[in-house]
Amino acid sequence: MNQGAAVLTAAAIRPDYRSGRSYRYLVISGGKVRALADTAAQAARAAGSPAFWADLGSACVGPGFIDTHVHALQAAADVRLVSLRQAASLRELLSAVREGALGRPAGQWTVSGRNWHESQLREGRLPTRAELDALGAAGPILLRRGSHLGVLNSLALARLEADAGRPGAEPIPAAGGTGHVHSDALIARALELAGGRPAFAERCEDLAAVLARFNARGLTSIREAGVDGPELALFQALRQRDWLSLRCDLLWRIAEGSDLDSAVRQIADMPPGIPAQDPYLRLTGVKAFVDGRIADAAIGGEPGREDTCAQPFRVTPADLGVIVEQALRRSGGIGCHAVGDAAVRVVLDAYERALAAGWAREPRQLVIEHALNCAPETVRRLAASGVSVSAHPGIVYEFAEEIRRYWGETNAARAAPVRDMVSAGVRVAAGSDGDVPPFDPLRGIWFMATRTDRSGGLIGEDQAIARNVALDLYTRCGAVLLGVQARRGELRPGLDADLVAFSADPLSCPVDELPDIEILLTLVGGRAVHDPARLMEGACPLWLIRRSSSTATSSMPAAPACSVTSTSWSGTARSPKWARGARPRPAAACRSSICGAHT
């Protein structure tokens, strides 16, 4: 096996997406970029001997993508459930549910994944209890839409009604006529009745498969937007086995709706001792909720025709101040979920007090998550404060009609005002909020450049930005938000070799081709985490996602004491092709010096 450097050659190797500069050769050694070169002779001198040479032909190489707000755990929890993501009509959705329920014994539940929304359906509405009953399933059905809404058939509602007699049980709402349930407690109880979660080792496999899916679209770093103890244990288990195929920053989540005493206790429960310098896994701060989502956000200006939210705030300004202080005393940062302008201003007040009191060493530690609805004066205030914004335009792509309905046309035209933020000098980076909005960075970049929503219409076209700026938000700016700009975000000598090879140049291809660009290769720290054509074979073994169900469970660590284990999920075992029986091959088998993780 090669013990020297690796040299990549391609039509264009871009150290960043802003300068327009490109090279023909990239030299990697010890997991880092050693040199960029215009000629083979320059590359050969920098690489020394022996060296592995990989010719990527007409590909374009650039820095790997960084998603500053994603929900990998939510995607992993859906792997074994009925997928409704591709349904474009109620007929297709109901057909997928029927297929998932086929062959189940009487009484066994059919449960869907969460990553779908009625706006993707031609009819633009949720299915009803009667429509689920008409499928003739022999058991209860629970369709989860996001994390806070469920649609149940009559058998499922009957199970909940029979369970309602136990002490402390929540009553079934009158809205049960439609089968639509908005109670988190009832949805959680339905899931318990359905049979619990997969075993710990299976959950580890599911998370590893989702991370591989991210790699396949060029992601090399993520910031997971909220974990608790058992969820942290999943990431730690993958790290212990060297199965993390990208770099993961995690936020410690305060449960939505927690009162102040509970929030403070949860912050105190945040575990210490995770090395801040671990290049693959860091627990970097606390996540708190300030307002709701599109339908119940604390928006500014005149609301839309269907806005009926009387109390959008999840926390009072005084309590938020205490939460921010305690979070910063316990950890290195905080990210506050604030969708609407009024919520963003409340968070800014708390952050400015934290900076004045010295609880935060620098504004970068303070992040506003979403900031989808910001008035011009709020944008100027964000810029002056120096705090960071993790912006998620993909939410607007996915839910444009819902935004118009609840926020009104004026607010919709400024939803996700990325152009204004960039122009004002706000410290902003891109995230997806996937896996309900698309996690694919290239689709998010395309939307930022075109402002074309899921239905093909335009929304907020005045907020469109140049594609090089959008690419920068997903790379260099993401590294700045994470505080790792001295290590990654660009391809420069001495920085980590986190990169992606595209089938076409994302800076010069027709803009509408951006979402369909093929990812030929993804490297993290110089090692291949996505390499379907085996372009790097001989330099460093690929972290293969293989079918290996017979050995995966036995090779995974047992569940730590804080994790939750239970019987296997009784929903459908039908999973996406990328997830079936998958596990990553431990990268520790590699001894090549191009991979810094193994030297």
Amino acid at 404: R
- The mean per-residue pLDDT over the stretch 399-412 comes to 93
- The mean per-residue pLDDT over the stretch 160-173 comes to 72
Task: Find the helix or strand (DSSP H, E) in which 565 lies.
Answer: none
* Residues 249-296 pLDDT 10s: 999 999 998 999 999 999 999 998 677 679 999 999 999 999 999 989
Amino acid at 147: S
> Residue 146: which of 123, 120, 169, 128 has the closest Cα?
120
Q: Given a cut of 80, is residue 117 above it in pLDDT?
A: yes
Maximum mean pLDDT: which of 190-194, 207-211, 303-307:
207-211
111 phi and psi angles, rounded to 5 deg: -125, 140
311: confidence class by pLDDT, cuts 50, 70, 90: confident
Point out which residues pair with 101 in neighbouring strands: none
DSSP 69: E
Q: Given a cut of 90, is residue 3 above it in pLDDT?
A: no
What length is written for the chain? 599
Contact 511, 449 (CB under 8 A): yes
- The mean per-residue pLDDT over the stretch 411-438 comes to 95
438: confidence class by pLDDT, cuts 50, 70, 90: confident
Min mean pLDDT across 29-33, 355-359, 560-564 is at 560-564
Task: State the pLDDT at residue 307.
Answer: 57
Counting residues of the chain whose pLDDT is more than 90, the rounded percentage is 75
Q: Given a cut of 60, is residue 560 above it in pLDDT?
A: no
The first and second tokens of residue 271, run together, are 């575990």
In the chain, the domains with their CATH numbers are 81-194 (3.10.310.70), 285-465 (3.20.20.140)
Task: State the pLDDT at residue 183.
Answer: 86
Angle between helices 317-330 and 260-268 (to 10 degrees): 10
3-class SS of residue 222: strand
The CA-atom distances, in angstroms, between 495 and each of 31, 32, 36, 413, 532 are 9, 5, 12, 39, 25
The CA-atom distances, in angstroms, between 101 and each of 105, 279, 491, 541, 574 are 9, 43, 49, 40, 11
Q: Given a cut of 50, is residue 547 above it in pLDDT?
A: no
- pTM of this structure: 0.88
Task: State the pLDDT at residue 404.
Answer: 94
Task: Find the helix or strand (DSSP H, E) in which 189 lies.
Answer: helix 184-194
Contact 139, 193 (CB under 8 A): no
d(CA 241, CA 205): 12
Strand runs labelled E in 321-362: 334-338
Kindly report the number of other CB atoms within 10 A of residue 415's CB atom: 25
Computed over every residue of the chain, the mean pLDDT equals: 87
Amino acid at 191: L
Higher per-residue confidence, 197 vs 308: 197
Task: Find the helix or strand (DSSP H, E) in which 395 lies.
Answer: helix 394-398
Task: State the pLDDT at residue 550.
Answer: 31
CA angle 504, 418, 65 (to 5 degrees): 40
Q: Given a cut of 90, is residue 559 above it in pLDDT?
A: no
| Burial letters 360-390, b for 16+ CB under 10 A, else e | beebbbbbbbbbbbbbeebbebbbebebbbb
- The mean per-residue pLDDT over the stretch 419-434 comes to 97
Listing DSSP states for 233-294 in one string gives HHHHHHHHTT---SEEEEEEEPPTT--HHHHHHHHHTS-----TT-SSEEEEEEEEE-S--G
- Does the CA dihedral 464-470-474-480 come out positive or negative? negative
* Residues 589-598 pLDDT 10s: 343 445 544 3
d(CA 475, CA 383): 20
Task: State the pLDDT at residue 168.
Answer: 63
Q: What's the burial of 275, exposed, middle or buried (CB within 10 Å: 0-12/13-18/19+)?
A: exposed
Query: What is Dmax (Cα atoms) for the chain?
Result: 79
* Residues 500-535 pLDDT 10s: 999 999 999 999 999 999 999 999 999 999 999 999
d(CA 405, CA 421): 24
Point out which residues pair with 65 in neighbouring strands: 219
Q: Per residue, what are the HEC states of 13-36?
A: ECCCCCCCCCEEEEEEECCEEEEE
The first and second tokens of residue 433, run together, are 């909020």
- The mean per-residue pLDDT over the stretch 80-89 comes to 93
CA atoms within 13 A on the CB side of 447: 32
> Residue 394: which of 427, 435, 438, 428 has the closest Cα?
438
- The mean per-residue pLDDT over the stretch 352-358 comes to 97
Q: Given a cut of 70, is residue 342 above it in pLDDT?
A: yes
